[in-house]
Structure 1
Amino acid sequence: MNALPHRGRAVLFGVAIPVLVTVAAWTVALTWLDRLPAQIALHWGPDGIDRVGPPSGLLTPMAVMSGVTIVALGTLALTVGRTSFIRRLVLALASGLAVFFAGLTLSLLGIQLDRTVAVGASLPSPDAWLALTAAVAVVVAVVAGTAAGRDPAQAALGPVHGEQLALTVDERVTWMRRVGPSRALMRWGGSGAALYIAFALWLAAITDSWYVAVLMVLPLPFVLTMLVWDVRVDTHGLTVRGAFGWPRQHVPAGEVVGATVRTVSPLGEFGGWGLRASANLDGTVGVVVRGGEAIDVERSGGRRLVVTVDDAGTGAALLNAVAQRARHRSTGGSTEGADG
């Protein structure tokens, strides 16, 4: 198995930065213990503080969440990431969540310094600090994901596996399809989104916190970019783009080991719909907006891209043909011996 690319970046953004941020935050938190009341606010309700307890009641769960996140994502950062999508996702989560938990801990403690706290009492709202924490965490996550690095070029060797369309030497063929969710998924998904937004607004109203609604609704525009995809196979390989041009997944023709057609179960294999990593993070990335027929592309370096799309057989056969042509051009040899 090939070594994971960009190992140093995985250590930096997946382990070092999360540990340093967490240690710095907890160093500050521990120096604040003498300035905290014996009983601090542990939970806020619509009418203010509704539960108090010793500082350990807040610090213990925050320590557990931070520690579990660091260990789990740090382990993933060092063991997965064969594809840029998975690598970017893991490193973004590792750095971003470390900043978020650190800021959350300091925000909830900071508003209680040198104060007397009791059930029913009011405190300065933490919303502004929580919003700042979320914004900084997102920025850090974006930086970590961007800096995770692109996949290095890894030429596939040997004959291409799978059925191939018959192409002449100079023939140029392009295959394109637009794929979206099924009507049933659109109907249920739309109803679910409406209920989710209503719940977010209701929760914000009863807690008197606009921050709650913003934080809950913020991911929805990103989710919308995952609903419709344009799939294209041409001389350059396979390219899959969201309807707005982003996100984008590309498999160069020279890195195609072979493309086949198979049936995909979005929930069973990828845990949902959209741009997904397989449940076992083995280097498989899926663009899955519905169940059923899909192009399954095996790439060099132990990577794989799965795309649910109509007429997948034609797309796979053309991709195999242009991949074999790419082999022929790179080696100056014959395309004989290809499977299919």
Structure 2
Amino acid sequence: MPAVVITEFMDREGVDLIAARFDTVYDPDLVDRPQALDALLADCRGLIVRNRTQVRPPLLAKAPHLKTVGRLGVGLDNIDLGACAGAGISVLPATGTNDETVAEFVMGALLSLTRGGAFQATADVAAGTWPRTRFKARDAKGLRLGLIGFGAIARQVARRARAFGIAVAAYDPFVSEGDPAWALADRRCADVGTLLDGADILSIHVPLTDATRHLVDAAALARLPAGAVLINTARGGIVDEHAMVAALKSGALGGAMLDVMEAEPVAAGSHLAGVPNLLLSPHIAGITKDAVLRASLLVADNVARVLEGGTPTVADAARGR
């Protein structure tokens, strides 16, 4: 039986790295075949997952020898950290491997949305309708970006936004007032409401918790300036999607981009279908071949180190970029 089980897609170099040190089963479809996964857990000592595998007490009960869980990403809402800690299982996320990748995605969404959907005009142009006056485009320079959360990814967004002449404000009660990171923002907000009041662009960078679920609801959206745009690359559930759809349909919200949804994958014919000025992508903001390689190598090496009795490396030291 394998010592290491990998349940979702991983770069081949990462798979080969850990397979050279431990008997490994790599099957990116295991997440959708629970019976097959259960059969592999009995002797498993290292488990590597993405965001779909639910590492919770029912799974842990089937893996009595599990020592470590590697997460090919940074969000940990699919892993019961308390249950893992109670069982002496270390959790190893790929922190630092896709900060810049997500920030680039946010900037791409920002520039597309502030152009009022012009980048979605291909079908009209090809059909000869030539809709030059339809789009309500704005220059990015001079706009105000509000960041809910000011961790590593948000700070990378701030750096890029300021290079475009965008004023950056941020709210994060977990970053101390004296933290030098605030130098990357033009303004530190004491509360979410103040941030919302002055944000032409709102970008979310916090985990999904009881406190952040539906943080951006109808009341929050109503505080944004008319025509503001919303970007969520953090976690589905932070935005009240029904409230967002209503704001888009009324025109109060100028546009939105969701890379993460409350239900993934989205069901056909959902409330997100056919909504004006809404861009959707399938949870890929942090996924490029470069970021996947960095995460795979880091997590594979760290899982192997733990199983060998060693200490995981610091993520930022292993980024290679």
TM-score (norm 2): 0.24
Structure having the higher Rg: 1
Answer 1 or 2: which has greater helix percent.
1
TM-score (norm 1): 0.23
Answer 1 or 2: which has greater strand percent.
1
